[in-house]
Amino acid sequence: MTNSDWTASTSPQQQNLRALAEKTLINNDLGGYTVPTHGLYPFQWNWDSAITALGWMQFDEQRAWQELEILFSGQWPDGMVPHILFHKDSDSYFPGPVVWGADKPIKSTSISQPPVVGSVMKIMLEQAKDPHFAREKATTLFNKLVDYHLWWYQQRDPEETGLVVTYHPWESGMDNSPAWDDALQAVPCVTWSYERRDTKHVDSAQRPHKSEYDRFLYLVDFFKQHQFDSKRIFAQCPYKMNDIGIIAILHRASKDLLIMSEMLQMQDERTEYIAKRMEVTQQAISALWCEKDHYFYSRNVLTNQLVAVKTSAGLLSLYAGFASATQKTSLNKTSIEWLQASQFSLASTHPSASCYEPQRYWRGPIWLHINWMIALGLEESGYQDTAKSIQNDSRELIKLAGFYEYFNPETGAGCGGKDFSWTAAIAMHWLL
Ligand code: GLC
């Protein structure tokens, strides 16, 4: 079937996939929030939930808004929306709430995740079949969203450099990206022993190594020992990253927040402040551009070095709207060449990089929600053909393998967890 056949008609295969995608979300629903997949990830994850709401939106608008309401129910008093909310106990995941040690009404981790939720809310408001209901829900959530963005700007960039910092690879959402390798080396290992649960669900060849896990856990302990105090952690954290992925997603979501503030007539001095902080970011972003490689990289704040590994996070600069006309041209060229470098696209690490591993978690595999964001950025920058290629590959992957957590760019095989919520949701929102 050619792509035009696929989009022109609603084929039986498409109907079938669509029904399966709905079923995936329904099966992963734990009563108002959706787990990414049972077993491997048995709680509510921040950016998973946001992306998943886009899927619910296609067949149950009320349920979609409920997903976000429950996500914001775990917001900390300082505005932070945690990366995981441990609503119910489960021993299939490690590290759980006791290790994190955050004493909050809803148990949670003490870090956040890419703040895509603002962009999702704007899409939900625009696409609602019941605009009255959507407006009412968005109005109730809007101030919490503003608090969340203010938390990023004020707690994670207290010196107003324009570039927020992240304190843990898990905060980036791209947990095991090779971009974090060097910075992670400077973090000590935990000395206590622990039992991992992830490798009980998924082949260890697709998961991080123990040496990385030891350091991930050291940071978890560090936050607890510093009583989650933003100032102390900012001053002393042994891992501090200007993650281009988070910076881009935050910038885009702030833009969408400002558009929503007009739609809902909720502009005030707080939204004006966000607009000012966005200007500072736009000024500062050139510090992450490498003129030699024509690419946006993350930066290790502690060494002040750009991390010269081409990961898909750099392409999110288009989604954020950061790139100048010449930067856009180079990024489109790089994307085309990246697409040609593997059978399916877009590999999370460039296939020509020495650290590329097509099967291992964020070191090569394809994630469909990242594809969606990159394609959107390319399309908005005028590169429809490149965007279409990414969309076609994404569709091909779900036809071949179903709704897996991630996919091998060489073979198209599904990897990680199966029946995965955000993959099913993006399929409904973007592909089917
Ligand atoms: C992994 C991913 C992270 C995601 C979580 C749940 O930890 O790296 O981005 O949020 O799984 O799907």
Tell me the pLDDT of the chain (432 aa) as tens digits. 445 555 555 777 888 999 999 999 999 999 999 999 999 999 999 999 999 999 999 999 999 999 999 999 999 999 999 999 999 999 889 999 999 999 899 999 999 999 999 999 999 999 999 999 999 999 999 999 999 999 999 999 999 999 999 999 999 999 999 999 999 999 999 999 999 998 888 888 878 889 999 999 999 999 999 999 999 999 999 999 999 999 999 999 999 999 999 999 999 999 999 999 999 999 999 999 999 999 999 999 999 999 999 999 999 999 999 999 999 999 999 999 999 999 999 999 999 999 999 999 999 999 999 999 999 999 999 999 999 999 999 999 999 999 999 999 999 999 999 999 999 999 999 999
Task: Report which protein residue has its CA nearest ligand 1's atom 9.
Answer: 173
CB count in 10 Å sphere of residue 363: 24
Q: Is 223 in the pocket of ligand 1 (CB under 6 A)?
A: no
In short, whether 48's Cβ falls inside 6 Å of ligand 1 is yes
> In this structure, are residues 86 and 97 in contact, taking their beta carbons and an 8 Å threshold?
yes
**Cα separation, 229 vs 220, whole angstroms:** 13
Which ligand 1 atom sits closest to the C-alpha of 48?
10
Question: Which of the following is catalytic: 198, 212, 256, 405?
Answer: 405
Total-model pTM: 0.97
Report how far ligand 1's centroid is from the alpha carbon of 309 (Å).
21
Are 95 and 52 contacting, i.e. CB atoms less than 8 angstroms apart? no
- Say how many domains are in the chain: 1
Helix (H) or strand (E) holding 398: helix 384-401
d(CA 30, CA 282): 40
**CATH code, domain carrying 152:** 1.50.10.10
What per-residue confidence (pLDDT) applies to 12? 76
CA of 264 to the centre of ligand 1 (A): 32
Helix (H) or strand (E) holding 299: strand 299-300
405 CA: nearest ligand 1 atom: 12
Residue type, 181: D
**What local confidence, expressed as pLDDT, does residue 106 receive?**
97
* Residue 405 falls in the annotated catalytic set: yes
The one-letter amino acid at 121: M
Residue 206 CA to residue 399 CA, distance in Å, equals 22
- Give the domain extent around 131: 3-431
CA of 173 to the centre of ligand 1 (A): 6
Contacts of 372 (CB under 8 A, 6+ apart): 394, 426, 429, 430
Catalytic residue among 22, 175, 181, 293: 175
Reference 87, options 117, 49, 121, 119; nearest CA is 49
Q: How far is the CA of 423 from the centre of ligand 1 (A)?
A: 12
Residue 41 alpha carbon, nearest atom of ligand 1: 6
Q: Is the CB of 173 under 6 A from ligand 1?
A: yes
Listed as own residue / partner, the contacts of 202-210 with beta carbons closer than 8 Å and 24 or more positions apart are 202/40, 202/415, 202/416, 202/417, 205/359, 205/360, 206/359, 206/360, 206/361, 206/415, 206/416, 207/176, 207/360, 207/361, 208/175, 208/176, 208/360, 208/361
**What six digits make up the tokens of 422?**
């955000």
Given ligand 1 and candidates 45, 71, 249, which is best to mutate, with the most ligand atoms within 8 Å of its CB?
45
